Amino acid sequence: MKLFSQNPIGLSGKVSRTVDATMTASAVGSGGVDVLSTPTMILLMEMAAAEAVSGALARGLVTVGTGVNVRHQAATPMGDTVVAAAVVTAVEGRRLTFAVEARDSERIVGTGTHVRMAVDLQRFMSSLR
DSSP 8-state secondary structure symbol assigned to residue 22: G
Q: Which of 25-29, 30-34, 64-68, 81-85 has the lowest mean pLDDT?
A: 30-34
pTM of the model: 0.95
Task: Please enumerate in sequence order all residues whose Cβ is within 8 A of that of 3, keeping only pairs 6 or more positions apart, or say none.
Answer: 57, 58, 61, 93, 94, 118
Q: Tell me the pLDDT tens digit for each residue of 43-60.
A: 999 999 999 999 999 999
Q: What value, to the nearest 5°, has the Cα angle with vertex 113 and ends 12 and 117?
A: 75
Q: Tell me the pLDDT tens digit for each residue of 58-107.
A: 999 999 999 999 999 999 999 999 999 999 999 999 999 999 999 999 99
Q: Could you tell me which CATH class the domain 12-127 is placed in?
A: alpha beta
